[in-house]
């Protein structure tokens, strides 16, 4: 039991993380790093993100604009910051860890329709704010172990119309649980102005003023300063104008790799300051495993080149968890996995595939929706199969592998997925039975963790070192078992299945006479952590490395 609990103070304490000046300054990483540092002191944490947009969840939002949709074990489609939370901390999160304005209003309107507010005018204050507060309480309410500290990040930027109800709810919440039980961290941008040759703290002052207008006085200000360092006199200035002691002004300059951020914050004692503010005697800190991991990450002994074949993407965050899972697999293999995106629409022939993919040590075909670039992906899978290049398929990438194998090995020339060609005479990939008749697009895919049983003697079984695993899903289409026999006879190995109502859903396929060709219907990237790299990613990178070294 942690210090806070053994000392008799059983109530959960709260750390709120708000953002100022602009969005996308790394609030999520600050929240996640804070979680890590508190866990390193043996404290039990819970962590959550409040998103001020109207979508009920981010599942219907374009990942190329908003970044990836992160899926939890219990099948919630959530903000990508939850990925940071899971990777930095020991937690495996659930749908309780992400709520949106849309979700809050949805719940309140349903209550109103059920007559739960009968006689009342339903208003932002108190009904919306009450709903927000009850969701924050729910985060810790049913936890198996008592939560010492709950970290709540508020999406968006202070000053936005949309975030007002959330901030008002936090203001009230502080009063409800008692001011000494709450700590507010405000993360702001401190821009460097080239012409003046200095960092400017004015936007931070304005943003803190906006926060104080709402009735919230931040206790800690984390200044994002780009590559620059906040000088002592500037710290003093921010402190003076924002009414915050100097030791509570943290300079968060850009650090690389991202996983070094917790150490950078720890050097400035952010964790000690939080605990002091919350009245918790700080237990000793042990971040040695994390630090050793960061050292390994900084000192790779080799580099492998992985081609990620897909749509041309501009938004780096669209495949955040996949990129991170490769970082983790690289750490485990003491190498850097360098990902290069190859536009599948440009792979128009087998010769193109050879020309564009020839230089790589491994080929990935990742998740995707829609019809664009599909034939190019199929050519990439064929190139990997026929040239003994390690291949890893994820979700759509597994469906592509099945189509390619059916067409070119099993002789089913018209093989296709009904997602791409609804009229195909040979639907080797077709709609999941429970998806037939589904009209709504929000939250209706096959989502979350499912049991996957692994076949002895397969590459997948070898990679995991376990008979049964649980991996997360997000798809509507699946391997059509009508073709199972034909494809198995042609040599396709089904190495992982999910038992369902007397039959088995295909979860992993692989090839026998190939160094490493493995593809999963699930998304293994979501469960990868830097200290626990995902086994399929690790095996793929290992074989890519062997190919590079001429062992394959």
Which residue lies nearer to ligand GLN by CB, 251 or 339?
339
CB of 440 to ligand GLN, least distance (A): 15
For 40, list phi and psi in degrees, rounded to 5: -65, -15
CB of 377 to ligand GLN, least distance (A): 11
Of 395, 452, 498, 543, catalytic: 395
CB of 310 to ligand GLN, least distance (A): 10
CB of 471 to ligand GLN, least distance (A): 13
Number of C-beta neighbours around residue 124 at 10 A: 13
Which residue lies nearer to ligand GLN by CB, 260 or 432?
432
For 481, list phi and psi in degrees, rounded to 5: -65, -15
Nearest CA among 440, 539, 541 for reference residue 495: 539
The residues near 172 (Cβ < 8 Å, ≥ 6 apart) are 129, 133
The residues near 539 (Cβ < 8 Å, ≥ 6 apart) are 459, 462, 463, 516, 518
Of 84, 186, 525, 543, catalytic: 525
Which residue lies nearer to ligand GLN by CB, 358 or 370?
370
DSSP string, 342-376: EEGGG--SHHHHHHHHTT-SEEEE----SSTTHHH
DSSP string, 414-436: TEEETTT-TT-SEEEEEE-GGGT
Nearest CA among 85, 549, 88, 41 for reference residue 328: 88
Neighbouring C-alpha atoms within 13 Å toward the C-beta of 522: 32
| Residue 455 bears catalytic tag | no
CB of 419 to ligand GLN, least distance (A): 5
CB of 475 to ligand GLN, least distance (A): 3
| Residue 251 bears catalytic tag | no
Strand boundaries in 200-351, DSSP class E: 220-224, 249-252, 302-310, 335-343
Q: What is the CA radius of gyration of the chain?
A: 25
| Residue 523 bears catalytic tag | yes
Which residue lies nearer to ligand GLN by CB, 385 or 446?
446
Which residue lies nearer to ligand GLN by CB, 31 or 431?
431
Q: Which helix (H) or strand (E) holds 276?
A: helix 270-278
Q: Which residues bind ligand GLN (CB under 6 A)?
A: 367-369, 395-396, 419, 474-477
Which residue lies nearer to ligand GLN by CB, 516 or 526?
526
Residues annotated as catalytic are: 395, 523, 525
């Amino acid at each position: 039991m942690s210090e806070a609990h053994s000392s008799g103070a059983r109530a959960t304490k709260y750390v709120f993380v708000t953002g100022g000046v602009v969005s996308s300054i790394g609030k999520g990483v600050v929240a996640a790093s804070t979680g890590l540092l508190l866990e390193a002191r043996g404290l039990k944490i819970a962590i959550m993100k409040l998103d001020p947009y109207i979508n009920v969840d981010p599942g219907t939002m374009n990942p190329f604009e908003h970044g990836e949709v992160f899926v939890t074990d219990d099948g919630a489609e959530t903000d990508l910051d939850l990925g940071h939370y899971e990777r930095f901390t020991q937690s495996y999160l659930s749908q309780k860890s992400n709520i949106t304005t849309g979700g809050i209003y949805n719940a309140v309107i349903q209550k109103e329709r059920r007559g739960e507010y009968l006689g009342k005018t339903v208003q932002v204050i108190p009904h919306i704010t009450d709903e927000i507060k009850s969701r924050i309480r729910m985060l810790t309410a049913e936890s198996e172990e008592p939560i010492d500290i709950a970290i709540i990040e508020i999406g968006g930027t202070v000053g936005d119309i949309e975030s007002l109800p959330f901030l008002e709810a936090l203001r009230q919440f502080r009063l409800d649980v008692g001011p000494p039980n709450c700590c507010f961290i405000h993360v702001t941008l401190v821009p460097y102005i080239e012409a003046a040759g200095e960092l400017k703290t004015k936007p931070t002052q304005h943003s803190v003023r906006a926060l104080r207008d709402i009735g919230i006085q931040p206790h800690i200000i984390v200044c994002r300063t780009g590559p620059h360092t906040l000088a002592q006199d500037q710290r003093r200035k921010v402190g003076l104008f924002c009414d915050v002691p100097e030791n509570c002004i943290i300079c968060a300059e850009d650090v690389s790799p991202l996983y070094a951020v917790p150490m950078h914050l720890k050097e400035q004692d952010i964790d000690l300051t939080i605990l002091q503010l919350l009245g918790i005697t700080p237990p000793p800190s042990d971040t040695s495993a994390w630090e050793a991991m960061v050292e390994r990450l900084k000192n790779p002994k080799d580099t492998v080149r992985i081609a990620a074949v897909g749509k041309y993407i501009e938004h780096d965050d669209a495949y955040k968890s996949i990129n991170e899972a490769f970082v983790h697999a690289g750490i485990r293999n003491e190498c850097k996995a360098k990902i290069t995106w190859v536009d599948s629409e440009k792979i128009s022939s087998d010769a193109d595939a050879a020309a564009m993919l020839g230089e790589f040590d491994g080929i990935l075909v990742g998740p995707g929706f829609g019809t664009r670039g599909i034939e190019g992906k199929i050519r990439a899978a064929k190139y990997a199969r026929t040239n003994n290049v390690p291949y890893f398929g994820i979700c759509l990438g597994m469906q592509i592998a099945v189509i390619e194998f059916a067409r070119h090995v099993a002789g089913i020339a018209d093989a296709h997925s009904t997602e791409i060609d609804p009229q195909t005479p040979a639907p080797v990939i077709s709609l999941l039975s429970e998806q037939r008749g589904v009209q709504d697009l929000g939250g209706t895919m096959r989502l979350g963790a499912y049991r996957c049983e692994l076949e002895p003697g397969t590459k997948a079984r070898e990679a995991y070192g376990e008979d049964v695993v649980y991996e997360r899903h997000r798809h509507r289409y699946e391997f059509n078992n009508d073709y199972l026999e034909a494809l198995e006879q042609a040599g396709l190995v089904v190495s992982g299945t999910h038992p369902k109502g007397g039959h088995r859903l295909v979860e992993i396929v692989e090839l026998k006479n190939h160094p490493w060709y493995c593809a999963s219907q699930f998304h293994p990237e979501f469960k990868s952590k830097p200290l626990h790299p995902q086994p399929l990613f690790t095996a793929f990178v290992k074989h890519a490395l062997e190919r590079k070294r001429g062992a394959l």
